[in-house]
Amino acid sequence: MQLYVNDEPVQLEQTLLGDVIETVVPSEQRVAVAVNQQIVPRSQWSECLLKDNDRIDIFESIAGG
């Protein structure tokens, strides 16, 4: 399936958001995730079914003032 993760095109077999996150994000990292600019709460990742061309945005905390 064709997906876009932070604007990068990727081909992944996984169809559940939770599995995609597990593949691309280190397990200890706390992130926030949006699919097509809709925030998906962590509790719903495992049942969120992805479609072809979905755009996934993954956010992390960084230093800032």
> Applying CB under 8 A, does 27 fall inside the site for other proteins?
no
x/- letters, 34..63, toward other proteins (CB under 8 A): x--x-x-xx--------------xxxxxxx
> Applying CB under 8 A, does 9 fall inside the site for other proteins?
no
How many CA atoms within 13 Å lie on the side-chain side of 47?
A: 3
CA 23 vs CA 20, 34, 56: distances in Å: 5, 16, 13
From CA 57, how far away is CA 38, in angstroms rounded?
9
Q: Which residues are at the interface with other proteins (CB under 8 A)?
A: 5-6, 8, 24-26, 28-34, 37, 39, 41-42, 57-65
